[in-house]
Amino acid sequence: MASHLYISSTPAEVSSASGLHLITQNTPNGQATQILLEELAAVYGTPFTTSVIDISTNEQKKEWFLRLNPNGRIPVLVDNTRPGAPFPVFETSAQLLYLVDHFDKDHKFGFTDPLEKSDAEQWLFFWHGGGAPYQGNLNYFSRNAPDNEFAINRFKNETLRVFGVLEIRLSGIYTADQQPREYLVGSGKGKYSTADIKAWSWIQHWPMRFTKDDVKDFPHLLAWVERIGARSAVKLGIGEKYKKKQ
C-alpha cells in the first residue's frame, strides 16, 4: 500500500489491484462503467478487475472509500496503469470519458470529429444531469413516500418527458433525411457510443415499469433499448458477477 490513498482498512483486492479496477455495485450508474469496460475487453482485450461492495451497509461512507471518492458514491474507477498511480476517477460520465480517451485507441465508442464529440458529450450530460436524477427521484419517492403524489407525479412526468426527448432524437424527425436512428450520436443511423451506454443503463427496465399507454408514443426508444440490450458485452456488464455480496 504505497499510495497515501490506501490505509489499513482498504480492502486488499483494491490496494493490490493492477490495471483498471472498478469498485462498484450492480446499480444503473455502476452498470454504465461496467458495460464500457466489458466492451473494451471484448474489442481490445483490456483487462480489468472489480470489487463489489454492499452500499446498503454504507461501506462507501468509510474512510478507505472516501479517500478514493470524497462524495461516497459508487462506482469508482481506479487506474493503476499510469505514473503516479493509483489514479481514481469518480462520477460515471467522467469515467466513460476517461476510458474512451485513454483506452479506446480505435475510437470504437467515442468520436474524433470535434462536432460529433461535442454531440456525444451533450447527450451524455443530458442524461447525467436530467434523466438519471428524474428516474432516481421517482424511484425514491415511489418506494419511500408512496403517499406523496405531488413528488411522484412530478418525477414521473419529467421521466416521460425526457423519454420523449430521446424518442425525438431516435425517430430522426428533425434530421435532414428524417430517417430513424439506431443510436444517439453519429452520422446516418448513428454509432453506439458512451452516450447510449449512459442513458441505457438507466432506461433499460423503465419502460416495463410504466403502463403500455405511458410508453406507446416511444417506439423508437423501445427498439433502442432492445437493440443495446442484445449486445454480448452489455449482457456481461449487467451480469451476475456485479451483484452485491451476500
- HSE of 193, CA atoms in CB hemisphere, 13 A: 27
pLDDT in the model for residue 241: 64
pLDDT in the model for residue 107: 97
pLDDT in the model for residue 245: 47
3 state SS of 52: strand
Q: How many Å separate Cα 121 from the centre of its chain?
A: 13
pLDDT in the model for residue 4: 86
Q: Which domains does the chain have, with CATH numbers?
A: 12-108 (3.40.30.10), 114-233 (1.20.1050.10)
pLDDT in the model for residue 2: 52
Residue ranges for the chain with pLDDT beneath 50: 1, 245-246
- Alpha-carbon distances of 221 from 29, 167, 242, rounded to whole Å: 20, 5, 26
pLDDT in the model for residue 35: 98
Query: What would the pLDDT profile of 18-75 be if each residue is shown by its tens digit?
Result: 999 999 999 999 999 999 999 999 999 999 999 999 999 999 999 999 999 999 999 9
